[in-house]
Structure 1
């Protein structure tokens, strides 16, 4: 830097000498002894001396960047050693207005944007800030492809700063970040998607300001107050006024700039058979004849202390160099804090499988007196953040290094109203076995236990674990009623399932809470072992081979299997228990029948209205509907067991015909035969109007699902692979026989069944009444898409639908003369005419 300055002085001197030489021939001017004012110096545009920029009046804080505040200006001072280093930017809401919240989003603690940035020196004493993407990658810098990828993937410059001064030893520089921090940019603050979700527009500079900037050893925290124009909510219907006001929305925002490790953690490759959350990139080196999409699992960096490495290699449990620590938001109601802590600490036994003790710990957040520097927004700290929200939920996101998948921190979102959800779940699923659940408001001990379970589940997500909806399918149904077995093993092998509570247990089984609550299970411990156990001295590729062998050796243990919830595998469903949902849900329905008559007494609150009764009664319907859905997914279902090429056996297997027919019988018995037990008169009189018909709504909904073209096409396609599969014509005949069971015996048809039969005919008519295009070529008719699209005209679906209608029409015509019941006869005559209009249009 000094050389450049000297060169500028030298050039200036040369210019003066040249000018003097040009004027040498002119006669000398008379001496002017009068004192004249010096001509004003032009403003200096380049770097100034450090003391002129960072004066004694500066308020200075030392950390990742030295932060200087001078009046209304903010300066970052950084060493040249930070140039080219990757810095993760995490932006969060720290305070939010209530009028912008969008469902689950818009609360204090919510993440609103994430970037990786890099500072570099440019020409003319500039510092450039680049926005770095790791989506495309060539790993080996010695290969020709590396240079090509770099040339085709230049990272954008997001901002430019003038160097205001160099540090005294010339090893760093000072930049003014005031304008950048005050602006509305896509490095700090909201990502565009979240702006749209919250209906906020452009920032209003006169109502926005920098509140504070704090700096720590590896991170700098920027707190700003930003006011945005608030866009009006769209009208509910065309022509109507806006559904919500415009105006302004003011947020307090926190941007964390976190220095990523100089040497990235050794990554671990993803495996579908175990499954973790991932970070992905496209690698141009991995496949010499193409490109390869690479997925790395996200996980915390857990390593033994240097002095314990040999113990670790011998298989002894050791404490990690840096444990995973979660702090409990100080705004959390005190009575729930111990349970949230237990929910975190429950994972300690899982990490022991990976060779670490005390690897994960929960603590209360320190008070201001204990640590004045601690902040919930500080990206060095992970936390469970309490949110005063009506949303009945919780979630467990995390922030990771995109280069390696290393998880750096997490803010678990804990919404206050999750307790109402827990009350409803537990009352409906476990009250037959647990008398504590037979009331509107649970005691703190019971609610605390339920909070502990949800805490453990969400922590699992922050450790990198996705939902494993298939883990509960490994448990035999009869074991769910075996007190000794279920209390020892639990009702599911993974807390990451949506298995909730043991709804199969019956009142006389005397099963205690150990057999009702979810817990850290066998799969969870295996998953943590696979993801976190260190293999010292092994390369990424060597690790991949070893881990593959681990998976293969455990593949036949169904409790250790990860099943993807793809919408076709009936083993991987939410809220489902046991290896046979039809048998499990017969017990579940038996419990619902036991619960419903007792709800008015359990939820009788003096001076209160019937809101709780309405809510729980509605949840009974929802639970019953899920039980029907568990059976329905077997029809046209496909088992998916992902494997590597050296594993024998099929990946895709059609659900056996006998099991599909069992599912059909379950639906006919429990749904299409009117479930009158749900029609509890004393409850309905208090919570539903006479015009409401929830049973018909349920029947219509599942009938539509059973007639979906995608399901019907899977039945057709399955017979191409398995001659013994459930054929579409068999399926349609079984469905018809159940829904029209009154016809052979000429029994009167009640109102619910008439509604169901009308819905059946209308749905079948829709499938059969697909007309060809008016002119040749092109499309025509309908193409129904849900997942893979199905063009009904090009399948057997129309043929089978029309054939079924012809058969039904004949049966109706034969039955009409024998019906003396007027409503039944009108009903049948009407439906015959509807079918005639489809099969014999004029």
Structure 2
């Protein structure tokens, strides 16, 4: 997704399961590499056993009595016969046992089924793999195939054991109506199958229907619009009416659904085994062949099948650029506003250069979808077409999911979703991050040329996902912050090495730097080109994926040793401050300081930039909220640096640790920044001209509310049991290395937040509020009721309440309490400071009293 997304280092298989876009792909069983249609085959034994006890088989009719004169016949990988509202499938014997992936989508949606970002045309509502096989009593079975466990060597006992414990479910049974005259195909009546509300063709999970508020199908208001058959796919388009379930606003929904039956390749693409140092989506299975004395999980990267034409293979191997047999093509939804089409297309075409690194020219392209006049059979729902779908929606988002063959990781197709209102968030991001340096961003409606370039960036990012690439949140951390202000350097190299990072725009740049678009906008860059080469360059000299993996592992190690800009940082990294959403540079404190300097320039201009003479202040309110949110992001980037642990995935033989405590100075500087920028009241945010236009109460009150919200969020993020335990154990295992400790963090924040009491001064209302928030959060962590004081540290559950951490936290509470008592007794303490101190003393006393009665 384009917005904030989607993990702790739980092992390669768990990571793959968490990251694969299509969750069902993780539960399927892979066929042997380069072996057509093999998997769990219990057909013969089960069929033979059943036949012994079966009743008389269904009587077959002559072919001419079933497929009668006047039927409309379409030929593809199945032959489809239709007469009126009756449909017959003629399935060749050669396709029995072949894997068929069924992908179901919403083709046209009802406004009443909206639920957040779901309930739109293009939504995928199902994905699973099936096989047809003959059963007893003249039946044709349709089995749902699982790819979660695998053993491929049929000469070993393990093969039979895995088969025995992986019987594939019979999802549907069809009476065979007739045989083709030469007995080369079976004919079944598919009318009821494609008309019914079944979980094979349509909503494959009850969750999808529940989310949309749908109940049961209303048969007399549902029908099949068409069934089209092609060489590798069949498209079933249905109009379905459902009861509205529990939705009180509607009695029923009518939607159009499309189901694609995609014939998977007889010979799966040679897979590429994952390397966690390169960020690809993945599909995996439990492999009983990989480890002779255990069980391993095999994970494949998801990639498109790009291959040179046979006559060009020698050129390819010599290093010449060649065109692939089948390029990756994205069609632009015909309903897309015309002025944005060129920018969406450019976002696709920008990836051509990256594929040249893998040896292919013209490997990817965008095209406008053909009109009805040009091709009456063309459909954007057809699974043989990938597309960028326009959604007229208030959702501010974009997504780039794809569908992959679970046997090999081959990407079959993708539908990118571009929500109309993503433009509003692009506007807000660019104004808040770049208006200080780019005059084009200082208006309520951007020029089409600027918005078009922003859309182009979104398009490229989402296309990257469809090519298999995950978010690389660590990429921007490889860039020195001061280089982001160097006009020549940043315009040449870009502000992040990867467009797959959430490094939106260069907010570090200052007005005096005079940096242009090339240094402000993200681009497809070093990491992206390297990752595409890793995923897509063919290496036919290696016969198996396992052989290839050894060579690729060395290539990745050597590349990373030479160029740190190729480093991949996961989007789900919990403790590594280098991998963060929406941050820039290698120093969060310095980068955020520059970002705040620009916000201070922007704030006084918001009224001029976001209001119109004949309108109210809704736009001003939205942009002021965005500015506060941007300030919160800058501060949040700093918070993660306190007690962080750098996680650098490595293979054996690479030097250095995988996990390493972040440098002491990172944490120390982060705490200093928070004390100075957040806890020392940021009065620059108190703009009375803005606040008096937005709130029915006066500016000081409204600013106090806004400030309390920001400070509370930061204090709650700082004071967590995870952070406490992480800092404590880092201290206990420092082994002579200087590390930032829990004791030092508590002391630094106490001295910053209660600074006035140390200096013998009175406390103003903003700071009194801050101190109450801090003590309240701290007490919640120390004196929480019951015994829930547990946290996750690597690999285990740790009970803080039975450790030295609790003693240290209680000691900190006593130090705060003593500080408050001293402040009360100081001559010259004003009334409000005295009352404030007394309140906090009473709170802490009550906490200790309740705690003394709790047995842990």
* TM-score past 0.5 threshold: yes
Residue 100 (str. 1) matches residue 97 (str. 2): no
d(CA) in 1 for partners of 2:725 and 2:828?
Answer: 37
Alignment of 1:277-292 (within 5 A): 277-292=281-296
The correspondence for 2:239, drawn from 213, 222, 225, is 225
The correspondence for 1:679, drawn from 672, 682, 686, is 686
d(CA) in 1 for partners of 2:146 and 2:777?
Answer: 49
Shift of 1:44: 11
The correspondence for 1:656, drawn from 651, 654, 663, is 663
User: Hey, what does 2:29 align to over in structure 1?
Assistant: none
d(CA) in 2 for partners of 1:418 and 1:786?
Answer: 36
The correspondence for 1:66, drawn from 59, 79, 90, is 79
Residue 616 (str. 1) matches residue 623 (str. 2): yes
Shift of 1:275: 2.1
Shift of 1:334: 0.3
User: Hey, what does 2:581 align to over in structure 1?
Assistant: 574
Residue 87 (str. 1) matches residue 100 (str. 2): yes
SS of the residue corresponding to residue 241 of structure 2 reads: strand
SS of the residue corresponding to residue 194 of structure 2 reads: helix
Identify which range, 90-99 or 817-826, moves more after superposition: 817-826
The correspondence for 2:398, drawn from 370, 394, 400, is 394
Shift of 1:181: 1.3
User: Hey, what does 2:721 align to over in structure 1?
Assistant: 709
User: Hey, what does 1:541 align to over in structure 2?
Assistant: 546
User: Hey, what does 1:275 align to over in structure 2?
Assistant: 279
Residue 200 (str. 1) matches residue 207 (str. 2): no
User: Hey, what does 1:825 align to over in structure 2?
Assistant: 834
d(CA) in 2 for partners of 1:646 and 1:196?
Answer: 51
Cα contact 1:770–1:793 (8 A) shared by 2: no
Cα contact 2:498–2:526 (8 A) shared by 1: yes
User: Hey, what does 1:214 align to over in structure 2?
Assistant: 228
d(CA) in 1 for partners of 2:162 and 2:510?
Answer: 63
Cα contact 2:57–2:137 (8 A) shared by 1: no
User: Hey, what does 1:238 align to over in structure 2?
Assistant: none
User: Hey, what does 1:8 align to over in structure 2?
Assistant: none
Could you tell me which runs of 5 or more consecutive residues in structure 1 were left unpaired when the two chains were aligned. 1-42, 234-243, 772-779
User: Hey, what does 2:526 align to over in structure 1?
Assistant: 522
Shift of 1:703: 0.5
* CA 1:44–1:357: 2 relative to 1, 3 Å: closer
Shift of 1:310: 0.7
Alignment of 1:67-146 (within 5 A): 67-146=80-159
d(CA) in 2 for partners of 1:828 and 1:229?
Answer: 61
C-alpha deviations, 1:528-554, integer Å up to 9, x for none? 011111101312122101100111102
Shift of 1:840: 5.0
d(CA) in 1 for partners of 2:333 and 2:74?
Answer: 26
Shift of 1:66: 1.3
Identify which range, 140-149 or 270-279, moves more after superposition: 140-149
Cα contact 1:472–1:491 (8 A) shared by 2: yes
d(CA) in 1 for partners of 2:210 and 2:629?
Answer: 32
Identify which range, 57-66 or 832-841, moves more after superposition: 832-841
Cα contact 1:385–1:413 (8 A) shared by 2: yes
d(CA) in 2 for partners of 1:766 and 1:423?
Answer: 39
User: Hey, what does 1:794 align to over in structure 2?
Assistant: 802
TM-score normalised by length of structure 2: 0.89
User: Hey, what does 1:36 align to over in structure 2?
Assistant: none
Could you tell me which runs of 5 or more consecutive residues in structure 2 were left unpaired when the two chains were aligned. 1-55
The correspondence for 1:555, drawn from 551, 560, 564, is 560
d(CA) in 2 for partners of 1:820 and 1:404?
Answer: 73
User: Hey, what does 1:416 align to over in structure 2?
Assistant: 420
User: Hey, what does 1:759 align to over in structure 2?
Assistant: 773
d(CA) in 1 for partners of 2:508 and 2:393?
Answer: 32
User: Hey, what does 2:185 align to over in structure 1?
Assistant: 172
Residue 365 (str. 1) matches residue 377 (str. 2): no
SS of the residue corresponding to residue 782 of structure 1 reads: coil
Cα contact 1:92–1:253 (8 A) shared by 2: yes
d(CA) in 2 for partners of 1:783 and 1:245?
Answer: 45
Cα contact 1:767–1:797 (8 A) shared by 2: no
User: Hey, what does 2:9 align to over in structure 1?
Assistant: none
Residue 808 (str. 1) matches residue 816 (str. 2): yes
Shift of 1:704: 1.2
d(CA) in 2 for partners of 1:687 and 1:201?
Answer: 44
C-alpha deviations, 1:144-172, integer Å up to 9, x for none? 21122112111011111111111122211
d(CA) in 2 for partners of 1:698 and 1:125?
Answer: 70
TM-score normalised by length of structure 1: 0.91
Shift of 1:246: 5.6
Shift of 1:760: 1.3
Shift of 1:786: 7.0
d(CA) in 2 for partners of 1:700 and 1:181?
Answer: 55
- For the aligned residue pairs, the C-alpha RMSD in angstroms reads 1.6
d(CA) in 2 for partners of 1:501 and 1:256?
Answer: 39
Cα contact 2:58–2:175 (8 A) shared by 1: no
d(CA) in 1 for partners of 2:548 and 2:721?
Answer: 44
The correspondence for 1:333, drawn from 325, 333, 337, is 337
Cα contact 2:58–2:138 (8 A) shared by 1: no
